[in-house]
Chain A
Amino acid sequence: DQQVKQNSPSLSVQEGRISILNCDYTNSMFDYFLWYKKYPAEGPTFLISISSIKDKNEDGRFTVFLNKSAKHLSLHIVPSQPGDSAVYFCAASAKSGANSKLTFGKGITLSVRP
């Protein structure tokens, strides 16, 4: 049972354009969402997060949007740069104290063409 889904395995965009990475979840108890970026042979690095009390969080070129009614979140990267080419993982958790954990999607490979 995959509770966090990233249905598109890959995305290719032109440098300077917007990249939109989508993520859906099924568990209505999730209330904290994160995006991680991963380069080959490296560990995932935290990018941006959003709490369920918000619908938008922005950090420089990265913006995460949350639509709770649709159980959908998206990561927008504007403008996209070649260095953004990586695998992006969406993750979610239900804050239930010390037993909480992050559930990850399978990731989406972003390629930014020069």
Chain B
Amino acid sequence: DSGVTQTPKHLITATGQRVTLRCSPRSGDLSVYWYQQSLDQGLQFLIQYYNGEERAKGNILERFSAQQFPDLHSELNLSSLELGDSALYFCASSVVAGNTIYFGEGSWLTVV
């Protein structure tokens, strides 16, 4: 158990819909990261927050957004969903940026 909690574990939704994935980082970790893993793809970095502020952006679509709340938990919002958005979405956290990050179990999103 890494200490990073993600909900929901599995989610099936229709195209065009909107979903929210939630993440609670390890106790004491200030940095939260979101990664996407599609079939046959590695871990694609989406976005990073540090103590509530956005710090780095990767290959995140404009239809996607995220935020980190004062209690340090984070949410990833995916809207106007397409079939290609079906993937495993991981949240990770670390004490400081650039250090070892610890991953949650992931949220399986299936868009039908």
Contacts and interface: CB of A to CB of B under 8 A. Distances in A.
The finding on whether chains A and B are genuine partners in a shared complex, rather than unrelated, reads: yes
Interface of A: 6, 32, 34, 36, 41-46, 49, 89, 93-107
Contact of B100 (A34, A105, A107): A34
29 contacts: A32-B99, A41-B106, A43-B4, A43-B106, A44-B90, A44-B103, A45-B103, A46-B101, A46-B102, A89-B42, A94-B98, A97-B97, A97-B98, A98-B31, A98-B96, A98-B97, A99-B55, A100-B56, A100-B97, A101-B45, A101-B48, A101-B56, A101-B98, A102-B45, A103-B45, A104-B42, A105-B42, A106-B42, A107-B42
Contacts of A43: 2, 4, 90, 92, 103-106
A34 B98 CA distance: 11
A32 B97 CA distance: 12
* Chain B interface category by residue count: 20 to 34
A104 B4 contact: no
The 4 closest A-B pairs by CB, nearest first: A100-B98, A106-B42, A43-B103, A104-B43
Contacts of A6: 42
A95 B98 contact: yes
Contact of B101 (A97, A99, A102, A106): A102
B104 A98 contact: no
Contacts of B102: 46
Given A45-B2, A49-B100, 8 more contacts: A41-B106, A43-B92, A44-B90, A93-B98, A96-B98, A98-B97, A99-B55, A101-B97
B103 to A, nearest CB: 4
A74 B50 CA distance: 31
A103 B40 CA distance: 17
Contacts of B106: 41-43
The residue among A32, A93, A102 with the most chain B CB atoms within 10 A of its own CB is A102
A19 B69 CA distance: 43
Contacts of A44: 43, 90, 103
A75 to B, nearest CB: 15
Nearest to B94: A102
Interface string B1-22: 0101000000000000000000
